[in-house]
Every structure is written in structure tokens, then in C-alpha cells.
Amino acid sequence: MSGFYKIVLDCRSMKKVLFVCLGNICRSPMAEAILKNKIEKLGLSSALECDSCGTANYHIGDEPDYRTMKILENNGIKFKHLGRQFSKTDFETFDFIFAMDKENLRNVQKLAPNETLKQKAMLFREYDPVDGGREVPDPYYGTIKNFEEVYQMLDRTCDCFIKKHFSE
């Protein structure tokens, strides 16, 4: 994949991406792990940094759901993360704030200190070439197959995000 991208690092400062879901144990840590894996393979670690969090406080300090970790492992991604809750200070820290669904997007936007910072928050699948603008479904009450489907959505969306912002 690295041959596909011509990476443009000059004239760019480090960009910071935050993924947000409800509990920070399924979708958002999976997106974080996928993007981190891709940026490391592409040599973009000095240009792009990412993290994830939840809008709720249910899983602060918890590791990701075992099914998230299984899907990541099945795709060759090693990942460590402890859940945390979204904070107003995240608006100042991150350049991109990607919500997994509309409810979490609204919850994030309610915390924005002003309209300019509010604009940083958007649905991540706005970058999805297949179903742009749709939500990432929450697989928590589903099966491992649902986690795999979410992985596929996030994987292709991460590719498009990288291509748009870090390649020619």
C-alpha cells in the first residue's frame, strides 16, 4: 500500500485526529488502531497522531471490547488503549474530531466552546467512498460478524482520509 501513496510531509505540521463513540470500547478504539497502523506503515507517524474517546463515562479506564481486540488481531494490528471520556479541551487539542454516529456528534458539538471549534466535529464516514455520510453502526450488541463489518467500513474510510490529507 505504501507505494500507492506519494506522501507529502513538507509544509505540514502534525495533525491530530480524535475518534469518538459512546463508550470508547468498540468503534472509536478500532478506528484509532486502524489509523495508527496505517500511518506507521506509511511513515506518517511524525505528521499524524490519533486518539479515541467516548461521550459517556461507562468505560473510563477499561480496555476495548474483546471482540474489537479479536478483529484487530485477526487483521494483524496490535493495540493497547484505555477508555476515556470526551472533554471540552479536546476541541483545542485535535484538528479532526470524528464521531461514529449522529447522536455522539450532537453530544460532542454541544460541548463546543464556540462555533469555529464546533466545526471540527463531523461524522467520520463523510470520508467513506462507499456510503459517505452514514453512521458507523454500534456492534456492541451484535456478533463478531458485526465487528468485522465495522472494521471494513473504518478501514476503507481511513484509507480515504489519508489519501485526501496526506498524498498527492
27 is annotated as an active-site residue:
yes
Of 51, 101, 128, 138, the catalytic one is 138
Phi-psi region at 11: left, alpha or beta (left = phi > 0; alpha = psi -120 to 50): left
- Residue count of the chain: 168
95 is annotated as an active-site residue:
no
Between CA 95 and CA 143 the distance in angstroms is 33
Please give the full DSSP string across 140-158, using - where no structure is assigned: TTS-HHHHHHHHHHHHHHH
84 is annotated as an active-site residue:
no
Of 26, 27, 65, 67, the catalytic one is 27
Q: Is 165 exposed, middle or buried (0-12, 13-18, 19+ CB in 10 A)?
A: middle
Catalytic residue positions, numbered: 21, 27, 138
